[in-house]
Amino acid sequence: MKITSKGRYGLKAMMTLCEPEARARLLKTREIAEKQSIPVKYLEQIINTLKKRRLVTSVRGSEGGYRLAREPETITVYEILSALEGDLSVLEKDADLREGRQGVFWNELDSNIRHMLEIPLTEFV
């Protein structure tokens, strides 16, 4: 498992949307990008994925923008990263190391990583 810039930037964007002043209004992609030093075009792709995964909602128009789709306490770091990165397992699903004693180790490692990432966004900020 490797967290790419897509995952890191997505997490930064979600942390921005989690801030109290951001939760009181809609934020434009440009605002988030400037605050977190993320290229705007790349952030637009990331936000679109987060929207498809129902982690953010949007309002169109000149007064439009983005906000969290749910309370930040109910959104986990794991949800965000898996939405952007896909499978977060250490091994591929069909890896032969998932069997026997080695399998116990790798499965436990996956479980521990997931447990660490299951923290609410509010605890990560």
63 occurs within a structural domain: yes
49 occurs within a structural domain: yes
Measured CA to CA, the distance from residue 123 to residue 73 in angstroms comes to: 8
The tens digit of pLDDT for each residue in 2-46 reads: 899 999 999 999 999 999 988 889 999 999 999 999 999 999 999
Measured CA to CA, the distance from residue 6 to residue 53 in angstroms comes to: 15
- The helix/strand/coil state of 59 is strand
Measured CA to CA, the distance from residue 10 to residue 12 in angstroms comes to: 5
Q: Pick the residue with more confidence: 110 or 53?
A: 53
Tokens of 71: 């309370």
Number of domains in the chain: 1
124 occurs within a structural domain: no
What is the overall mean pLDDT for the chain? 91
Residue 68 has φ and ψ, to the nearest 5°, of: -65, 145
Structural domain boundaries enclosing 62: 5-86
97 occurs within a structural domain: no
96 occurs within a structural domain: no
Please, are residues 89 and 107 in contact by the beta-carbon 8 Å criterion?
no
112 occurs within a structural domain: no
Q: Which DSSP symbol is given to 98?
A: G
Helices vs. strands in the chain: H and E counts, helices first: 7, 2
CATH code for the domain of 72? 1.10.10.10
Give residue 49's pLDDT: 98
Please report which confidence band the pLDDT of residue 97 belongs to, taking 50, 70 and 90 as the band edges: low
Give residue 96's pLDDT: 66
64 occurs within a structural domain: yes
104 occurs within a structural domain: no
Please, are residues 17 and 55 in contact by the beta-carbon 8 Å criterion?
no
Measured CA to CA, the distance from residue 122 to residue 111 in angstroms comes to: 22
Give residue 103's pLDDT: 78
